[in-house]
Amino acid sequence: MAPDTRHPDKLDRAVIFLGPPGAGKGTQAKELAARYGVPHLSTGDMLREHVSKGTPLGIKAKPIMERGELVPDSLVLQMIRERIERPDCTHGFVFDGFPRTVAQAKYLGELLKQHGYKRPFVIHLAIDTSVLLPRLTGRRTCKVGGEIYNIHDRPPKVAGICDADGGELVQRPDDREEVIGPRLHAYEKQTAPLAAYYSSRGLLHVIDASKSIDEVRQQVLQSVKNVRGAR
Ligand code: AP5
């Protein structure tokens, strides 16, 4: 039998990060996933990879993402099903940017049930959208390992170079000011209703995402520990 390589503090469930563009979902999801030794599943990263490889899905998604709109559920759901059925997801995973519509949340609920997972744990990174612009326009991401920086708040030691692996730091095309407005609009219209959806099911944990990255991390870790202790 294969050895159990899980982190001694097992996650054993899906964790979902919900919040507007720039709330810190990627920053926190990556760290939480590493902490528990489970995959970090960012639908944004997956779609960007399809775009950069020029796959049929990427060709359809590219113009939609450049306009700051959501990619249709029909394209995203198949991608998610295939991903969570891989063996590395057996002991839990951390979603970043999924689900993003009530239809996606319902699909995910069924998928988790079919695969025998516990109910998901949803972390809502709540923040006033007026503070998000500098976070988004200042974000730079490592082309190699995906490490996230901010030229204002979390700069690399050497400008343009990743501290972790020396990779080039780049700006996402949708972090241009003219695309940020439509992204925030799509969030308010299509994704924000998920907070009420999960809250009514007793699954939502709200965290103040306006605090520093370290303070948000502490709040996230504490709430995950509380939930794991309680169920
Ligand atoms: P996606 O890649 O998911 O982007 P997003 O939701 O717009 O979120 P961001 O990645 O912009 O922000 P984040 O919350 O992860 O913040 P981060 O931690 O990086 O989606 C992109 C596009 O793909 C969508 O527009 C859509 O077209 C498509 N898509 C993706 N998923 C989809 C789905 N499920 N269905 C349909 N379409 C989908 O932080 C941002 C910056 O802030 C960084 O510089 C960071 O250093 C800084 N920062 C983070 N936390 C703090 C803090 N506490 N204090 C100060 N600075 C901070």
Query: What average pLDDT does the segment 34-38 reach?
Result: 94
Looking at residue 155, what is its pLDDT?
96
Q: How far is 207 from 160, CA to CA, in rounded Å?
A: 31
pTM score of the predicted model: 0.93
Average pLDDT in the 221-226 region? 91
50-73 per-position pLDDT tens digit: 999 999 999 999 999 999 999 999
Beta-sheet pairing, 121-126 with 148-150: unpaired
Q: Provide the pLDDT for residue 3.
A: 54
Question: Candidates 16, 17, 18, 25: which one to mutate for ligand 1, based on the most atoms within 8 Å of Cβ?
Answer: 25
Q: Quick one: average pLDDT of 3-8?
A: 58
What pLDDT is recorded for position 21? Answer: 97
For ligand 1, the distance from its centroid to the CA atom of residue 115, given in whole angstroms, is 28
Confidence (pLDDT) at 5: 56
CA of 171 relative to ligand 1 center, distance in Å: 12
Task: Provide the mean pLDDT of the chain.
Answer: 93
- Known catalytic residues are 25, 100, 139, 172, 183
Task: Give the binding-site residues of ligand 1, using a 6 Å CB cut-off.
Answer: 19, 21-27, 43-44, 47, 64-65, 68-71, 76, 97-98, 100, 104, 135-136, 138-139, 148-150, 153-154, 174, 183, 209, 212-213, 216
Render pLDDT for 146-196 as a digit per residue (tens, 0 to 9): 999 999 989 999 999 999 999 999 999 999 999 999 999 999 999 999 999
pLDDT over threshold 70, residue 108: yes
Residue 8 — pLDDT band, cuts 50, 70, 90?
A: low
Q: What pLDDT was estimated at residue 12?
A: 86
Q: Give distance in angstroms: CA of 2 to centre of ligand 1.
A: 36
**Which numbered atom of ligand 1 lies nearest the CA of 209?**
53
Q: Quick check: 110 pLDDT over 80?
A: yes
Q: What percent of the chain shows pLDDT beyond 70?
A: 95
pLDDT of residue 227: 78
Mutate which of 27, 46, 111, 127 to test ligand 1's pocket (most atoms within 8 Å of Cβ)?
A: 27
